[in-house]
Chain A
Amino acid sequence: MDATEKHGAQYAAGGAYGPDAVATSMQRGDGGFGRDQQTYYDHPVLQKPHWKWEIVTYFFVGGIAAASSALAALAAAGGDPDDALLVRNARYSALAGALVSGALLVKDLGRPDRFLNMLRIVKLKSPMSVGVYVLSLFSMNAGLRALEQLRADGHVPFAVPGWIAKPLRVSTGAPSTALMACYTGVLVSATAIPVWFTGRRHIPAIFVCSAASTGAALQNGLLALTGGSARTSKKLAVIELIASSAEAILLLHWRLSVGESAKPLFRGTRGRRLERFTLVGGLALPALLLLPSVVSRRPRHDPALGLIAAAAALFGGYVLRESVVYAGRDSASDARAYLRHPE
């Protein structure tokens, strides 16, 4: 005799326990379970992460800051005089992003001195601890570059002494920038939340791609506002196109390869929002707007178009971080997803 015959469909379906527990239990008249009980009244096994808009915004701004810093370094290394304006904009925005990031983390913790508690120890096993040092080194690097830029622009009369600048540049440049772009993805992946840990092969790479596409979009927008050259704008558009295509492919692959545990991210209201504002509005729309300037041999500069594309891409990037963070809260509440996870 199988469970359905023995206890009736309501037990086998197992869906009768939840917020309406009192009503359903009175209807059934037994107040409890059958022998084939799947969960404990569907009460969550896991606690919900408390992260709110501060952390969502930090993930978003931190990614843009990292990408801006990388774009500044790459453009400076390329040495094209047309790109000088990009280098300047990107260096300043990287520092601004780093400062905003720190402020957001302090806001989340509640008091500034609480940030210092994390500088007591270095713990490579904790992505949160790694992240604190990544952000600190990244901020130092961004500060140094911005100072150098201020000096080059003639705003400050002194230069950072070489014995400070050189080791700082070597030790903090590329590694801290790369980690700054991806560690937030590692941070959410290395948890017990099903939607996050089952996405561990996708989330960090998606965050990096989103950092690059939103960073390039922001720089393109700034370039349009500050009157940059069409050639620089085209280079940024190429980077944004490649990054956002990779991001879209990774998102779709994640969606197709993962099972029930990613339900809170890809289905329902949140799934539609992610589709509308990230996949379509944030990735496809800017790509369509940018494509003509990328494929044409003589790039035309259209600031208005650039600004629209940038705004859409930036909003899409924000919605991506928001969706991933809040899907984690829903996933933590889903007892079934965790009790049955395949790992």
Chain B
Amino acid sequence: MSTPEHGFFTDVTLCIGCKACEVACKQWNQLPADGYALSGNSYDNTNGLSATTWRHVAFVEQMDRVEPSASRWMMMSDVCKHCTNAGCLEACPTGAIIRNEFNDVFVQPDVCNGCGYCVPSCPFGVVAIQPQSGIAQKCTLCYDRQKDGLEPACAKSCPTESITFGPIEELRALAEARVAKLQAEGREAHLYGVDGPETRDVGALNAFFLIPDRPEVFNLPPNPVLPSKFQRAAYTSGLLGALALGAVGLAVFRPKPGSA
């Protein structure tokens, strides 16, 4: 059975920062609470994605003191990007991280052994080890709901359709149209994760964004790396070193003429 690729399109210009997605995600996936600490960073007390927070709403307040009317208040609901070339998936030594039939990156909880190598291998800082279970956890793109033909909890709960779920091709068409409309109105808008420089290593993202500013403003890396590309240089360095020291050892221990 072939299912079309499904993913998220998150439109920052429509987000009102209600955090319904955060709550719906926590409820549906039965994720534990993270405490009540206040960060002091606008209304963002979640701070970022974690093993127990799979949707995170960022609050960006840009104050223009010279022209107060040009000030902006932007919210963005962040989520696992479900990369085409996923660093976590490549790094996983158990095969726990797979690409499921909806082409989403999924951690099989019964196979993961908690080695934690996916954590530093994710170029977006998404996947993390949950201390209670000791295994890696992140957004499943509501795999269980998708199997029953339902949209993920966050998209279902979004009151402004800032988060839309559907077949990737349809979402891209929707996003292109939205960008064209915003740009026609003279507003800054571009897509993150479709074909920009950020997709150089990780490929197109199954969860992509419409952002009205530079990616780093929303803590999205402008240049995310795919860690496996560093392997060739690293193996070369290590094996050359081993070869050189092996040669030194051979020379040092070689039988001396007349000594034995």
Residues of chain A touching chain B, judged by Cβ–Cβ distance below 8 Å, are 6-8, 17, 21-23, 25, 30-35, 37-41, 43-51, 70-71, 74-75, 77-81, 83, 108-110, 114-115, 117-118, 120-121, 123, 125-129, 131-132, 174, 178-179, 181-183, 185-187, 189-193, 196-197, 200-209, 212, 235, 238-239, 242-243, 246, 328, 332, 335, 338-339, 341, 343
Main secondary structure of the interface of A (DSSP, over half): helix
Answer yes or no: B204 CB below 8 A from chain A CBs: no
B249 and A205 within 8 A (CB): no
Answer yes or no: B253 CB below 8 A from chain A CBs: yes
Answer yes or no: B29 CB below 8 A from chain A CBs: no
The segment out of B2-10, B13-21, B86-94, B163-171 that lies at the interface is B86-94
Complex-state Cα separation, A338 to B60, whole angstroms:
20
Chain A nearest CB, measured from B118 CB (Å):
9
A71 and B249 within 8 A (CB): yes
A203 and B234 within 8 A (CB): yes
Question: In the assembled complex, which residues on chain A have CB atoms less than 8 Å from the CB atom of B184?
Answer: none
Question: In the assembled complex, which residues on chain A have CB atoms less than 8 Å from the CB atom of B235?
Answer: 182, 186, 204
Known: A21-B39, A32-B63, A83-B253. Is A118-B120 also a contact (CB below 8 A)? no
Complex-state Cα separation, A44 to B126, whole angstroms:
11
Complex-state Cα separation, A27 to B211, whole angstroms:
29
Q: Which residue of B lies closest to A86 (CB)?
A: B253
The segment out of B139-147, B172-180, B189-197, B222-230 that lies at the interface is B222-230
Known: A37-B62, A192-B224. Is A200-B219 also a contact (CB below 8 A)? no
B91 and A128 within 8 A (CB): yes
B260 and A80 within 8 A (CB): yes
Q: Give per-residue flags for B214-246: 1 if the beta carbon is below 8 A from chain A beta carbons, else 0.
A: 001111011111011011011111111111111
Question: In the assembled complex, which residues on chain B have CB atoms less than 8 Å from the CB atom of A204?
Answer: 234-235, 237-239, 241
Residues of chain B touching chain A, judged by Cβ–Cβ distance below 8 Å, are 38-42, 44, 47-48, 50, 58, 60-66, 73, 87, 90-96, 111-117, 119-129, 134, 216-219, 221-225, 227-228, 230-231, 233-246, 248-250, 252-256, 259-260
B120 and A193 within 8 A (CB): yes
Complex-state Cα separation, A40 to B228, whole angstroms:
27
B253 and A44 within 8 A (CB): no
A-B contact pairs, 10 of them (CB 8 A): A17-B41, A31-B40, A43-B41, A47-B128, A126-B93, A190-B230, A200-B233, A201-B234, A235-B252, A341-B225
Question: In the assembled complex, which residues on chain B have CB atoms less than 8 Å from the CB atom of A193?
Answer: 120
Known: A37-B62, A129-B93, A200-B234. Is A109-B120 also a contact (CB below 8 A)? no
Complex-state Cα separation, A77 to B249, whole angstroms:
11
